[in-house]
Structure 1
Amino acid sequence: MTWIRTYSVVTTAAASSVYGRWTDLDTWAIDDADLQWVQVEGPVRVGASGKVKSGGPAQKITFTELVPNRAMNFEIKLPLATLSFPHSIEKLDEGLRITHGVRFDGPLAGLFGAVVGRSIGAGLPAVVRAVVDRAVAAEHGNS
């Protein structure tokens, strides 16, 4: 079973600016008001793991996809489900479509989606807008 929610914004920000925020862990808690902290041992790369704290107990994360200026994903293993956060950048005529998602896969995906996925999904618009707005500001010399 799969449960997924996504949110997208079209922007004129450069793909490298957005991807840079995704891979700079120091910006995560700035862009996501619900996130307390994230720590990863070593550089951000596929297979790198660490912990993230948002609300409840800290959870172990593992990066599963990193495609420069195109995609990023990390996952958290749960009992009978996997929680992942797919991020993508798609080129359009009018700019870039930046998409963040929350996805549960596995036998308990529906339950986790109903219990915690809805609130995570509800926060996606604010996070995507924050990433995009700060990427654009940084391009114009305003951090």
Structure 2
Amino acid sequence: MTTIATAQATSTAAPAAFFAKWADMATWPEWNNDTEWVRLDGPFAQGATGALKPKGGPEVPFDHQIATGPERTTVTVTVSIEGPLSWFWTKVMGADLADSVEPDLRALVAAAEAVLV
């Protein structure tokens, strides 16, 4: 598996606010501009796996993690790709995906902070 990009942000929003945003996959394109669709491989729960399809690209696995601290939530997002053509898609779309991870994470933080949990 090749990691394309990783981004991290801190927020005052509770972890539950982030989980609410991630669980509502139909609204991901509202805060994740380059996403065509998202799916989970099972129920939405801690440790769940899934994939997302960037616009114009192949589906890629995603990893979202949360760590809590005093009055802060730290969110880490990692986009990676695997498979026999991963080198090709990394070359073709890697830079665009890497460039979008930070702004998409900022938009997720803003959306989570707008949720009253």
Identity of aligned residues (%): 26
* Residue identity matched to 2:51: E
Structure 2 counterpart SS, 1:103: strand
Query: As a proportion of its length, which structure holds more strand?
Result: 1
Runs of 4 or more, structure 1, over 4 Å off, are none
| 2:50 equivalent to 1:74 | yes
Using the size of structure 2 for normalisation, the TM-score is 0.76
Structure 1, unmatched stretches of 5+, are 38-51, 53-60
Using the size of structure 1 for normalisation, the TM-score is 0.64
- Which residue of structure 1 aligns with residue 20 of structure 2? 20
Quote the offset at 1:84 in angstroms: 0.9
The answer as to whether partners of 2:63 and 2:79 remain within 8 angstroms in 1 is: yes
Structure 1 counterpart SS, 2:41: strand
* Alignment: residue pair count: 112
Report 1 or 2 for greater relative contact order, CA contacts < 8 Å, sequence distance ≥ 6: 2
| 2:35 equivalent to 1:3 | no
| 2:99 equivalent to 1:122 | yes
- Name which of 61, 78, 82 aligns with 1:101: 78
Question: Once superposed, what is the RMSD of the aligned Cα atoms?
Answer: 2.7
